[in-house]
């Protein structure tokens, strides 16, 4: 028994197009996975759009013209180092191969990687063949819009962010020229990974939830609510901390500008307070200049520790992208990206909060997965549990089914509810434990007499009787 | 002033990547468009998944391997007839050109269209040049997964349906082998239209909400709840009714099997009762054998009449796809698609309910758009209005802003709310009318005295005073 086994068997996620053998890096969500994913997205939306009245959500196309990625720099710089086996012709990521041989490859040139592969005598991990020189491979999916011969080249977006930059000018006008302004996008992005070997963690088609905050660079070291967060204790793993422990320090001691710090505090709260990630399994990891993406000036990743992924892994990042993108698009398109705030003209800078939805879902499931002697239980926080409650008639006779079904329909107005009348009550509890349902309501003969039902809590397995009319309120309070 | 003007200026939708001049067939949603679109999707989800306990939602990849579309027949048959101008080299859809010359082109071969273009002396509508012979053009976007040279060909899905067919076997097991089973997908699909000229109505990247119902073909002429709908009056425009009026007849007189009829009734209710489409602007249009897609045996489209689209236009369709897809995939993959129900083995048949999300959003906005002498008002039903309520302080002093903001925060727990303190009250009402907000709450000096606020209703413009604590309940009842 394992998390992947539960995920497959119960319909959280499974390989895409598996009838035809699937395709590496592509997964589909079953009905429980969709519920969990959507609840994560709704929780994210409610929390981050709630941080400022001028933060809104937009939804933009996933196919974007070539010009966008010339302006953003992705065509030139969004590359992976590729090496090919001369014998079996399988392609590999050169940096991954080097890291498997304990060589830190971040920031190296193709030539340096080629040399190191030879020095370390690295061979094809599949067949042992000789590997080719390393060359850069662009990770965007290319396609033709219109008939191929005359069509325009376009790309599937590798991040949602460019949609927000394309929408910046119009939305700034629509939102009556306020600054800061936040544009959030939750949606699919695409990365043509050379050899996705980490299952559900590294995908070729994935969902991101990203918020681009456009602000005046002169206010980089301030935030109106800074005082409310400055003493918050942060879990920090800076560039200088490598091979040391995570440090717990007050926010104001973190080496980052205050506008940046403010959102670090809010992001940590999102994980620890809203998603109930145990604090000791969360940290902010600072990325060095070599590790950062080409567009970032300050970059800390949110990392979560899970056993199955083998340590702290990236769940998202906070990226100070400066005016890299807006100025790049201004230069490439000739469209002014400058705004005018009370006579002062400037191109706004951007702070990006970026989250990988699928890997957050995976990590939350991993943290929740618990094997106990007599059951497997997914201890998901209520805000993201696929079903909030299940309703069972004790037996399928004497009117208990009808009575249960009424309770089910009534709860359905406010919650995701599952109805189950099959198998022993113990078995039905186990089925719900395994998919993380926080509450089970059982209707029995006493219900016929006094209108009370049993509410059983997932983690403690404690059972309490309530009047059936009080169940919805009880769940709402526990929620 | 027009709907498109409001859509652009207020942030419903706008051309994608417009900084670079946009790209035909691609639109983005601004913050109001996202709210409207998401509410349409949630309304759809709640209604259609509520029709059967065994209907669930899944979410599958938009990139699918070539083998899937060989099995489904899309590689062979999902084509548009293309003709090219010999002078300016612009490509055109031959069937559209013929229809503009009053020739019905549905079902013709490429040769027949070539001949007709010549007979009617049709020239390039752009430059008047000679047109080439007609050839078929596959409308799927093709891409390479992995490094191009050795990579596998894949396609962006042209419909969500194939994701459900790929998931059928696993989900049938996960859902404990029940039949009928419904798999719904709401998500993006892609069609490489040759010349998208109808703005937001015909898109290259669009969203669909589709439900695939898998059932035993022996039960095609029955539904357990048939009696509850058989007398419902349906608005019907059958193949035999061409050039006649829409007929209003009881469901049981519609020429379709009962399982099919049942869902026709439910779909009509969705439009008329849930989305409040005026009945006389809705109809079911039957498609002839020539008009139907290659996989459909029975096909009625839902059509909505709007002025701006120039008549009744397709909003979606109900498609009896038989075992076309499952058997196609069984043959192509070698995987058995048969199920075993109490000893009876069969490949299920599929009834598909298919809705174009973007065009439904567009049509609902079009129906709602009303120019009155002194205002423009978007009379959207509350279930899809972007904001349900706006809160205004009458003036920005004497504590009215703080009091209003408290009311705003309180309402925000249950509704999408907009807060506005800028401009005259009249102007603020107009701004909300234009985007379809059903209610405006105004906080004035009387609020300070007796705790009452004014609730103003959008369509009637009537104003009523309520205790501020009663506003949420009042809205919930009107909702």
Rounded Cα distance between B16 and B199, Å, is 12
**pLDDT for the residue numbered B412:** 93
Cβ-based contacts under 8 A for chains A and B: 204
Enumerate residues 6+ apart whose C-beta is below 8 A from B64.
A16, A17, B154, B155, B157, B162, B163, B166
The predicted model gives A421-444 an average pLDDT of 97
Task: Report chain A residues whose CB lies below 8 A from the CB of B19.
Answer: 166, 169, 329, 333, 335
pLDDT digits (tens, 9 = 90+) for A227-285: 999 999 999 999 998 888 999 999 999 999 999 999 999 999 999 999 999 999 999 99
Enumerate residues 6+ apart whose C-beta is below 8 A from B57.
A31, A34, A35, B45, B49, B183, B184, B185, B186
Rounded Cα distance between B417 and B423, Å, is 18
Q: Do B28 and A205 touch (CB under 8 A)?
A: no
Residue B395: how many other CB atoms lie within 10 Å: 13
Task: pLDDT band for A149, please (50, 70, 90 cuts).
Answer: low
More confident residue, A151 or B368: B368
Task: Report chain A residues whose CB lies below 8 A from the CB of B70.
Answer: none
Rounded Cα distance between A420 and A396, Å, is 10
Q: Do B16 and A68 touch (CB under 8 A)?
A: no
> Average pLDDT, whole number, for chain A?
94
β-bridge mates for residue B279, sequence order: none
Rounded Cα distance between B368 and B385, Å, is 10
ipTM of the complex: 0.95
Rounded Cα distance between B39 and B29, Å, is 13
**pLDDT for the residue numbered A479:** 66
* Low-confidence residues of chain B: pLDDT under 70: 1, 148-151, 198, 479
Nearest residue of A to residue B29, measured between CA atoms:
A59
Q: Do B152 and A23 touch (CB under 8 A)?
A: yes
**pLDDT for the residue numbered A417:** 96
Of B25, B30, B59, the CB nearest to A171: B30
Q: Which of A19, A177, A337 to mutate to test the interface with B (most CBs of B within 10 A)?
A: A19
The CA-based angle A453-A35-A161, given to 5 degrees, is: 150
**pLDDT for the residue numbered B264:** 98
Whether B202 and B187 have beta carbons less than 8 Å apart is answered as no
Within 13 A of B289's CA, how many CA atoms are on the CB side?
0
Rounded Cα distance between A453 and A392, Å, is 10
How far away is chain A from the Cα of B344, in angstroms, using its nearest Cα?
Answer: 22
End-to-end CA distance of chain A: give it in Å, rounded.
29
Of B19, B27, B63, the CB nearest to A26: B63
The predicted model gives A469-477 an average pLDDT of 92
| Chain-centre distance for alpha carbon B434 | 22
Of B31, B91, B192, the CB nearest to A57: B31
DSSP state of A273: I
End-to-end CA distance of chain B: give it in Å, rounded.
29
Burial of A336 (C-beta count, 10 Å sphere; 0-12/13-18/19+): exposed
- DSSP per-residue string spanning A389-436: EEEEESSSSTTHHHHHHHHHHHHHTTS-EEE--SS-HHHHHHHHHHHT
Of B30, B335, B419, the CB nearest to A58: B30
Of A18, A56, A166, the CB nearest to B18: A166
β-bridge mates for residue B19, sequence order: none
The predicted model gives A148-157 an average pLDDT of 81
Q: Do A14 and B167 touch (CB under 8 A)?
A: yes
Phi, psi (degrees; rounded to nearest 5) at A79: -120, 155
Lowest mean pLDDT across A9-23, A127-141, B15-29, B196-210: B196-210
Nearest residue of A to residue B83, measured between CA atoms:
A147
Nearest CA to A38 out of A358, A404, A342 is that of: A358
pLDDT digits (tens, 9 = 90+) for B142-152: 999 987 566 68
Enumerate residues 6+ apart whose C-beta is below 8 A from B18.
A166, A170
pLDDT above 70: residue A465: yes
**pLDDT for the residue numbered B199:** 79
Q: Do B146 and A20 touch (CB under 8 A)?
A: no
Whole-angstrom CA distances from A349 to A116, A423, B108, B222, B440 are 38, 59, 56, 62, 35
Of A26, A34, A145, the CB nearest to B57: A34
Residue A466: how many other CB atoms lie within 10 Å: 16
Q: Do B61 and A20 touch (CB under 8 A)?
A: no
Task: Report chain A residues whose CB lies below 8 A from the CB of B155.
Answer: none
β-bridge mates for residue A65, sequence order: A154
Task: Report chain B residues whose CB lies below 8 A from the CB of A16.
Answer: 60-61, 64, 163, 166
Nearest CA to B186 out of B212, B219, B214, B215 is that of: B212
Nearest residue of A to residue B193, measured between CA atoms:
A146
**pLDDT for the residue numbered B293:** 84
pLDDT digits (tens, 9 = 90+) for B232-273: 999 999 999 888 899 999 999 999 999 999 999 999 999 999
Nearest residue of A to residue B21, measured between CA atoms:
A333
Altogether, the residues listed in chain A come to a count of 479
Burial of A24 (C-beta count, 10 Å sphere; 0-12/13-18/19+): middle
Q: Do A147 and B91 touch (CB under 8 A)?
A: yes
How far away is chain B from the Cα of A427, in angstroms, using its nearest Cα?
Answer: 15
pLDDT digits (tens, 9 = 90+) for B100-123: 898 988 888 999 999 999 999 999
SS3 A142: strand
Of B31, B156, B174, the CB nearest to A11: B174
Burial of A308 (C-beta count, 10 Å sphere; 0-12/13-18/19+): middle
Task: Report chain A residues whose CB lies below 8 A from the CB of B30.
Answer: 58, 167, 170-171, 174
Dihedral sign, CA of B34, B35, B38, B39? negative
Q: Do A20 and B156 touch (CB under 8 A)?
A: no
Of B9, B37, B61, the CB nearest to A28: B61
Task: pLDDT band for A308, please (50, 70, 90 cuts).
Answer: confident
Whether A36 and A16 have beta carbons less than 8 Å apart is answered as no
Report the percent of chain A where pLDDT is more than 70.
Answer: 99
Rounded Cα distance between A56 and A49, Å, is 6
């Amino acid at each position: 028994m394992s998390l992947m086994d539960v995920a497959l068997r119960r319909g959280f996620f499974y390989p895409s197009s598996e009838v035809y053998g699937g395709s590496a890096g592509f997964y589909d969500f079953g009905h429980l996975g969709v519920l969990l994913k959507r609840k994560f997205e709704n929780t994210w939306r409610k929390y981050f759009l709630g941080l400022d009245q001028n933060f809104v959500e937009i939804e933009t196309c996933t196919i974007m013209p070539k010009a966008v990625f010339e302006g953003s720099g992705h065509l030139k710089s969004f590359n992976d180092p590729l090496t090919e086996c001369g014998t079996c012709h399988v392609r590999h990521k050169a940096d991954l191969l080097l890291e498997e041989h304990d060589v830190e490859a971040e920031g190296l040139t193709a030539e340096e990687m080629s040399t190191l592969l030879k020095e370390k005598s690295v061979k094809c991990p599949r067949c042992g063949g000789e590997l080719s020189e390393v060359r850069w491979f662009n990770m965007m999916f290319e396609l033709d819009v219109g008939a191929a011969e005359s069509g325009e080249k376009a790309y599937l977006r590798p991040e949602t962010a460019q949609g927000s930059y394309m929408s910046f000018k119009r939305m700034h006008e629509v939102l009556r020229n306020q600054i800061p302004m936040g544009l959030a996008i939750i949606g699919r992005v695409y990365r043509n990974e050379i050899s996705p070997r980490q299952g559900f963690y590294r995908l070729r088609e994935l969902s991101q939830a990203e918020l681009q905050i456009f602000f005046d660079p002169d206010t980089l070291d301030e935030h109106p609510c800074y005082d409310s967060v400055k003493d918050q204790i942060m879990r920090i793993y800076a560039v200088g901390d490598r091979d040391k422990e995570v440090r717990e320090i007050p926010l104001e001691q973190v080496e980052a500008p205050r506008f940046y710090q403010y959102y670090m505090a809010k992001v940590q709260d999102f994980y620890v307070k809203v998603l109930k990630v145990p604090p000791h399994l969360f940290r902010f990891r600072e990325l060095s200049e070599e590790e950062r993406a080409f567009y970032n000036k300050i970059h800390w990743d949110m990392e979560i520790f899970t056993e199955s992924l083998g340590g702290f892994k990236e769940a998202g990042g906070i990226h100070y992208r400066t005016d890299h993108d807006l100025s790049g698009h201004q230069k490439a398109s000739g469209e002014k990206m400058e705004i005018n705030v009370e006579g002062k003209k400037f191109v706004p800078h951007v702070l990006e909060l970026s989250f990988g939805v699928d890997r957050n879902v995976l990590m939350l499931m991993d943290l929740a997965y618990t094997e106990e002697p007599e059951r497997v239980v997914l201890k998901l926080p209520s805000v993201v549990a696929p079903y909030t409650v299940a309703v069972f008639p004790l037996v399928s006779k004497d009117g208990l089914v009808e009575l249960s079904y009424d309770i089910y329909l009534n709860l359905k107005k406010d919650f995701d509810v599952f109805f189950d009348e099959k198998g022993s009550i113990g078995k039905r509890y186990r089925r719900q434990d395994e998919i993380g349902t926080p509450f089970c309501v059982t209707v029995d003969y006493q219900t016929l007499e006094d209108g009370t039902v049993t509410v059983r809590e997932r983690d403690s397995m404690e059972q309490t009787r309530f009047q059936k009319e009080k169940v919805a309120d009880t769940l709402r309070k526990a929620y």
